[in-house]
Amino acid sequence: MIFGRERIEYKTPEQVLRMRAAGLVVAQALAAVREHAVPGRTTADLDAVAAEVIRTAGATPSFLGYHGYPATLCVSVNDEIVHGIPGARVLAPGDVVSIDCGAIVDGWHGDSAITVVLDAPGGADPDDLALARVTEDAMWAGIAALATGQRIGDVGEAVEDVVDAAQAAGLNEGQRFGIVEEYVGHGIGSAMHLPPDVPNYRTRDRGARLRPGLCVAVEPMLVRGSRMTQVLEDDWTVVSDDGSRAAHWEHTVSVGENGIWVLTAEDGGASRLAALGVTIAPLG
C-alpha cells in the first residue's frame, strides 16, 4: 500500500505494551505452526493450528475477513511470495513455506512472518536455504536500522546491503536475489496497515523520521530470480513472475525513547540484535 506522507500514529508506552500482548500471541501461533510445517501436512492444517492458538489466547485473527480474506494465515509455498490462501495443498519435501500471521488484542495489532525450508532426502536445496537465511538476516538488519538510523529509509538501505553482500558471496548460484518492490512493510498499531510505508530497497526519499512511539512491520520479500510479481486468479496469491522461489520474514517493532523492541519476538529481539551490536530497550 502507498500512503505517502500521511499522519503517523505514535503510541504511548501503555499502547506499546498492549501491542506486545498481540505480538506475543502471534509469536506463539507461529511457534506452534512451525512444528506442523512438515511434508504431508496441508496448508489448511497450519491454518487450523494458528486459529486454535489465537482463539485460546482470547485474541482475534486479523487477516480473517480483511478485505474478504478467507483464512487466519497466509501460507505461501515455493514461487508464492505472499498472501497464499491455506487449503488442500499438501506440503512436500524441500518446499519453501512462508507463513504470515496477524492477531489483535484489545484493538492492537501484531504481524509477523517466517519462512521454513522443509527437509528433503539428501537435504533441501542449499540455495533455497540461503534464500530463507538471507531474507531473515536482511529483516534483522532492517530492524537494527530502526535503532541506529534516523529515517525509515535506513531500513531499506540495510536490507539491500545484506542482499548485496549475499550476492558478493556468490550465494544463489551467483544469480542476484530479487527484492520485491510491489509490497512493502508498513506502520502498524490500531490497524494492521498504517502509514508509513517501509520499503525494502534504497529510495531517494529518505522517508519519515524515526521517533519514539513509531511502530512498524519490517518485512523483506526476496526471490531467487526476477523481482517482478503477478497475482493469481484467486485475487490474493502473489507469485514470482519467473517462477523462482521466494522467502518472506516479518516482525512488528516499536521505536521507544530508549531504543527498539521487537514486539513479535519472544525475547524482544534481544539475541539476534545483540549479534548486530544493538541492545533492546526495557519495555514499559
Residues in contact with Co ion by CB under 5 A are 111, 217, 219
What does the per-residue mask of binding to ligand MF3 show for 169-208, with x meaning CB under 6 A? Answer: ----------------------------------------
Contacts (CB under 6 A) with ligand MF3, residues 103-122: 111
Q: Give least dist CB 73 to ligand MF3, A.
A: 8
Number of H helices, E strands in the chain: 5, 15
In the list 47, 79, 100, 154, the residue contacting ligand MF3 (rule: CB under 6 A) is 100
In the list 11, 18, 20, 83, the residue contacting ligand MF3 (rule: CB under 6 A) is 83
Read off the C-alpha cell for 96: 519453501
The three-state secondary structure class of 85 is coil
Could you tell me if 108 and 62 are in contact, meaning their C-beta atoms sit under 8 angstroms apart? no
Residue 3 as a binder of ligand MF3 (CB under 6 A): the answer is: no
Please tell me the distance from the alpha carbon of residue 85 to that of residue 156, in angstroms, as a whole number.
27
Residue 66 as a binder of ligand MF3 (CB under 6 A): the answer is: yes
The stretch among 35-43, 61-69, 124-132, 162-170 that binds ligand MF3 (CB under 6 A) is 61-69
Please tell me the distance from the alpha carbon of residue 221 to that of residue 223, in angstroms, as a whole number.
7
Longest dimension (CA), the chain: 52
Residue 29 as a binder of ligand MF3 (CB under 6 A): the answer is: no
In 108-146, which positions are buried (b, 16+ CB within 10 angstroms) versus exposed (e)?
A: bbbbbbbbbbbeeeeebeeebebbbbbbbbbbbbbbbbb
Q: Which is nearer to Co ion, 111 or 136 (CB)?
A: 111
Q: Give least dist CB 252 to ligand MF3, A.
A: 9
